[in-house]
Amino acid sequence: MKIQAYNPIPNTFGLKVTAASYVEYDTPAELETLLADGIVTTPYLHVGSGSNLLFSGDYPGVILHSCIKGIEVLHEDASHVKVRVGAGVVWDDFVAHCVAHGWHGAENLSLIPGEVGAAAVQNIGAYGVEIKDIIAQVETVSLHGDNQTYSTEQCAYAYRDSLFKKRKDLFVTRVTFVLSKLPLFSLGYASVRNEADLLATVDLPAVRAIIIRIREAKLPDPARWGNAGSFFKNPVVERSQFDALHIRYPDMPFYEQSDGSVKIPAGWLIEQCGWKGKSLGRAAVYDKQALVLINCGGATGQDIIALSDAVRRSVREHFEIDITPEVNVV
């Protein structure tokens, strides 16, 4: 356990921000003790490794961070394995562990920054897979100190959304995954499919390598350019609005949703507005993927927010579409 005053808050945007109090715990029992001892006062914020957060300034309250580790096999048979993973395990370390053990299901989510707990809160997704697809249950401790386990259905998962994004009184401690020991791959995503078609044999290490290659080509390394991956969510529009847009922009990429609505890539909308590679102050729209905002060096949270507001305004004016941040702005 660690409790520190005015500690820098880790964040991949590379922003220099501190928390009035920064608290780390190693077990669910330690978290319960912190809660019982009144260490967690309002305002508080539970964070992972800060890979999906944008701080507009210093945080005046308590930042909580889980260091709960461990990957424990609960059950295994010929076709499946059930594993319970600590919220503080680095997400990509877990994916690498799955690949090394021949467990299928997490490989398309290779190289996504962050930790297991935050990944389950955010419902991370990439290349046709969302983390909810492999989650069996999520264990939490509440602000009042009680333990509760949520089934995947109870987690109310949706696109980059879950029960835990609303219920800030629940802290995820461990996540249980079910993975396949049989070779099942999700290769529906065009860029993944194209590379897989070139392989003599498709196996887990090869698929992980493809995903890593695609991500590295499109997404900036936070060590070089501070960023938080996709800054905006891809907007979903009504069929009628989509039809009108599609006539005007026949090349517009889109994804039909099961309810008839249509998801449009925000990266495409932003690029059409001329923002790709453009900067505003010390923040910029990444030149290889317009959905990503970067810190060009020395930016503040306010710089990134100013750019985000300008981009949103352009998209609204051009397309009458509201794009909303995927990143959690604090």
Binding site for ligand EPU (CB under 6 A): 126-127, 218, 229-230, 233-234, 253, 265, 267-268, 271, 276, 289-291, 326
160 belongs to the catalytic site: yes
Clarify whether 326 is annotated catalytic.
yes
Q: State the minimum distance, in angstroms, from the CB of residue 278 to ligand EPU.
A: 12
When the beta carbons of 86 and 125 are compared against ligand EPU, the nearer one is 125
* Token pair in block for residue 5: 């005053």
Nearer to ligand EPU, 125 or 301 (CB): 125
Shortest Å distance, C-beta 13 to ligand EPU: 13
Q: Cβ closer to ligand EPU: 76 or 254?
A: 254
Measured CA to CA in angstroms, residue 54 lies from 49, 59, 117, 152 at distances of: 12, 11, 18, 28
Q: Is 142 a catalytic residue?
A: no
| Residue 133 beta carbon to ligand EPU: minimum distance, rounded to whole angstroms | 13
Q: How far is the CB of 276 from ligand EPU (least distance, A)?
A: 5
Catalytic residue among 160, 167, 193, 316: 160
Give least dist CB 163 to ligand EPU, A. Answer: 19
Cβ proximity to ligand EPU, 51 vs 137, nearer residue: 51
> In the beta sheet, which residues pair with residue 59?
19
Q: Which of 32, 115, 139, 326 does the annotation list as catalytic?
A: 326
Long-range contacts made by residues 320-325, C-beta under 8 angstroms, separation at least 24? Answer: 320/241, 321/235, 321/237, 321/241, 321/264, 321/269, 322/235, 323/232, 323/233, 323/235, 323/266, 323/269, 323/270, 324/232, 324/233, 324/235, 325/54, 325/231, 325/232, 325/233
Catalytic residue among 139, 230, 308, 312: 230
Q: Which residues are catalytically annotated? A: 160, 230, 326
